[in-house]
Structure 1
């Protein structure tokens, strides 16, 4: 939401390939269709320009080593390498998001082996590949890993866990004061759990984003209130998270 252009790329190795939208004949026809200077016309022109910039960034001249790494990477790691390449080649890109699914571990979740481990492994590999592909730009980058919901502490009857209440956010970057947990830890004892089954929420996820965005982009409270409307940041929360 807002005036900044947003573009989406397909996942997988086809992300940098031309699509039907890039065919000159079709693009020219759509240019004529959306020629009027109305909301649809402006959205088309903005979207087309943003896509052209992203495609140029993905296929930049310095992409050779990245493509070799991408060829050996599997799945999400390849997407992470492509994003790192794009960030290096396209300085206008300020915020990007990647999605990794498959966390609905209702059955046979496992621990060191099993469904959960088979998702955590690719996540870790992708984050490592992203950091390596960023190179020196990593010092200027903040990575936030967040899930839309947690999992229950209590195991269900199918050796899995169900949708839960509390969760965890990871922050990675040169300015993050890492190697420790920030915020309050309620514990996993049954008495400390929410409704006896979930990790209790001690920190609103917007508190973490407020602190991280404020430090990384040098945004004041007024600007952050536009990014996270309706949220009142608790004064002094998560002091020392970033430097």
Structure 2
């Protein structure tokens, strides 16, 4: 007989496609037989946002006093000096300036809730988007074929079994590499319309084309009987929630973007007490080879969407802010020197943002030497001075209470950098 854990471990549940009213009848019937809720204990939630395409950290958070950067970017360099357009960098500490389209971050940085790590990246020097993302999401930058993602391993280190299939949720159309592995996880494209199918490794991948009812037929009748009080109570709850007419708290205004909509739905799941502990969302369009722009243009629109989406989510959390930490990541950064088409090419280090009440914020962490050519990696890139694993592990350890770095990030024995309080 297929056990509950074995059934769920076969792969992540991917929820997408048809309307809420289209929940398979046998699932709805099982859910309706379940009585009182109260299964889910409120826990802390880590929300990770992957900026796919490689964000230019030197434009997001600019070392504006560095004359080498100014010379390397004659049309892309931005100053913190006030000007008539009001589009100057936001001076954070006399050395680093925040892009003006990220003005929403200024208040939480000054309040000590937003921390920035500069010079962060992978020790693997690949400039391939696919490989760099794979290494970062697997958490094993020198090992291909790792069968689990670091967030899936984090779920396994939480110290308790999932009382609900909503413990780990990605608001994406397919399961991200970060969630691959033996611990149950969900990929939900949209809370308002979904269907159920299996996706993942081994037997789960082989069964992906079959309907959920086909999969159910392959298991014992005991599956619903034994696990309905856990798995299907969550589905019953989701089926009854009016997700379409959700009203964010504190007049939070989410951008009408893929990221904004994803974070809005993550906020709903947190408030619905669905047992969510690890959430994932994506932001695309960061591969700015052409016409990157400065205070306007592609990059400005992207960072505005990122900051406005995160700040809307933060406002929406209200009294739950103590329970939530948001962390961004990107596969690598961009070249120090601009190219001939008004853009930047694949580089090495970038920066990331961590927002939460247990973050040591109000500071640009990490180490960055003057951007003279002799200090650049390969003579062209911002050097990686902070291994992404030192930040990711510290956030997971301090916020989620995980303290097994050797399991979370195999082959790494580095140190934390002091990003988190406590």
TM-score range, shorter chain: 0.7 to 0.9
Q: Aligned pair 1:31/2:216, yes or no? A: yes
Which of 138, 147, 156 pairs up with 2:330? 147
How far 1:9 sits from its partner (Å)?
Answer: 0.8
Q: Deviations over 1:54-88 (max 9, x none)?
A: 68348636963139x79974112122111111122
Q: Deviations over 1:208-240 (max 9, x none)?
A: 1121111112222xx222111111123xx4136
Contact 1:16 1:58 survives alignment (8 Å): no
Contact 1:138 1:174 survives alignment (8 Å): yes
**CA pair 51-232 structure 1, distance change in 2 beyond 3 A:** farther
CA distance in structure 2 between the partners assigned to 1:197 and 1:58 by the alignment: 53
**CA pair 20-7 structure 1, distance change in 2 beyond 3 A:** closer
Contact 1:16 1:59 survives alignment (8 Å): no
5+ residue gaps, structure 1 = none
User: What residue in structure 1 maps to residue 184 of structure 2?
Assistant: 5
CA distance in structure 1 between the partners assigned to 2:323 and 2:266 by the alignment: 15
CA distance in structure 1 between the partners assigned to 2:246 and 2:256 by the alignment: 17
TM-score, normalised relative to structure 2: 0.47
SS of the aligned residue for 1:19 comes to: strand
User: What residue in structure 2 maps to residue 16 of structure 1?
Assistant: 191
**CA pair 8-193 structure 1, distance change in 2 beyond 3 A:** same
User: What residue in structure 2 maps to residue 109 of structure 1?
Assistant: 292
Q: Aligned pair 1:85/2:268, yes or no? A: yes
Contact 1:139 1:173 survives alignment (8 Å): yes
CA distance in structure 1 between the partners assigned to 2:325 and 2:254 by the alignment: 26
5+ residue gaps, structure 2 = 1-147, 149-180, 198-210
Question: Once structures 1 and 2 are overlaid, which stretch shifts more, 52-61 or 117-126?
Answer: 52-61
Cα RMSD after superposing both structures: 3.1
Normalized per residue, the structure richer in helix is 1
CA distance in structure 2 between the partners assigned to 1:158 and 1:58 by the alignment: 50
Runs of 4 or more above 3 Å deviation: 18-22, 26-30, 49-52, 54-64, 69-73
**CA pair 59-107 structure 1, distance change in 2 beyond 3 A:** farther
Which of 186, 189, 192 pairs up with 2:375? 192
CA distance in structure 2 between the partners assigned to 1:144 and 1:18 by the alignment: 27
Query: Which structure is richer in relative contact order (CA contacts within 8 A, separation 6 or more)?
Result: 2
SS of the aligned residue for 2:281 comes to: coil
User: What residue in structure 1 maps to residue 62 of structure 2?
Assistant: none
How far 1:19 sits from its partner (Å)?
Answer: 3.4
**CA pair 91-19 structure 1, distance change in 2 beyond 3 A:** closer
Q: Deviations over 1:1-54 (max 9, x none)?
A: 4443100011xxxx12343439xxx6444421x3269xxxx9xx99xx868736
SS of the aligned residue for 1:175 comes to: coil
Q: Aligned pair 1:224/2:224, yes or no? A: no
CA distance in structure 2 between the partners assigned to 1:64 and 1:163 by the alignment: 40
Question: Once structures 1 and 2 are overlaid, which stretch shifts more, 49-58 or 130-139?
Answer: 49-58
